[in-house]
């Protein structure tokens, strides 16, 4: 499995503000670049999630057309920013310039591409209702490719604690074991932040949404 080089992550974060040659960037982009690179101007290691978050100030977001996902994958030790490229039947797809994508339905990850060991599809309709107060338990369905490139299905039985908007916890059990997700809902009913399990190899993905 491969992942983009650290420099690319910096450009992903800057792309919407005009990332290219750092010396030609405007003041706003230059400030963001300085925050995410070493003092000598050379690309630093992949930025921490906190560094990535700090870079997306209200001034930066004001220049961006559409929402952004700030994503950290602890098992890979890296973080990146993704921009929304499409909305199809309620599924939002966010993409990096390197072709890595994350698709969300009601704020829940339903597919990834380009990470290796990807989540091919997911059925999270019951989960969505449960997280918005409709029920205390739900079943989620994940589909993956096996070693022979065949689609395999994994079912999870999930239960929920804490009121919606106050850090709802989701605990799911399956043949893969126990997984735990968490969600914080903003005043608009969107997940402002979440921690969502993707696959045994990728593990958790930490996601913050900026609109």
* Domain count of the fold of the chain: 1
Residue 138 lies in a domain: yes
Specify the CATH number for the domain of residue 144.
2.40.360.10
CA–CA dist 36, 191 (Å, integer): 26
- Which residues make beta-bridge pairs with 109? 104
Residue 175 lies in a domain: yes
Q: What is the pLDDT of residue 44?
A: 45
Residue 200 lies in a domain: yes
Grouped pLDDT means (10 residues each) for the chain, 211 residues:
38 42 38 42 60 86 89 90 94 91 96 94 94 87 93 95 75 92 83 93 94 84
Residue 109 lies in a domain: yes
Residue 13 lies in a domain: yes
Q: Which two tokens stand for residue 73?
A: 């994958």
- Starting at the edge strand found earlier in the chain, the sheet holding 68-73 runs 108-113, 101-105, 91-95, 78-88, 68-73, 203-210, 191-199, 177-185, 168-174, 151-161, 137-145, 121-123
Q: What is the pLDDT of residue 82?
A: 93
Q: What is the pLDDT of residue 45?
A: 55
pTM: 0.79
- Domain extent for 84: 6-210
Q: What is the pLDDT of residue 140?
A: 97
Residue 34 lies in a domain: yes
Residue 1 lies in a domain: no
Residue 72 lies in a domain: yes
């Amino acid at each position: 499995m491969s992942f983009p080089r650290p420099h690319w992550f910096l450009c992903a974060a800057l792309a919407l503000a005009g990332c290219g040659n750092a010396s030609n960037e405007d003041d706003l982009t230059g400030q963001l670049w300085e925050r995410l690179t070493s003092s000598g101007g050379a690309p630093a290691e992949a930025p921490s999630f906190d560094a990535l978050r700090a870079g997306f100030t209200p001034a930066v977001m004001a220049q961006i057309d559409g929402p952004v996902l700030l994503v950290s994958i602890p098992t890979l030790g890296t973080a990146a920013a993704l921009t929304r490229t499409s909305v199809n039947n309620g599924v939002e797809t966010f993409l990096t310039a390197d072709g890595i994508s994350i698709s969300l339905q009601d704020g829940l990850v339903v597919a990834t591409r380009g990470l290796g060991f990807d989540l091919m599809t997911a059925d999270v309709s019951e989960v969505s209702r449960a997280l918005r107060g409709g029920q205390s338990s739900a079943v989620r369905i994940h589909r993956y490719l096996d070693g022979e490139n065949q689609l395999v299905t994994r079912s999870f039985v999930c239960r929920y604690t804490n009121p919606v908007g106050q850090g709802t916890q989701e605990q799911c059990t399956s043949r893969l074991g126990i997984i735990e997700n968490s969600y914080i809902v903003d005043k608009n009913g969107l997940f402002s932040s979440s921690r969502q399990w993707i696959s045994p190899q990728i593990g958790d993905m930490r996601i913050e949404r900026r609109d």
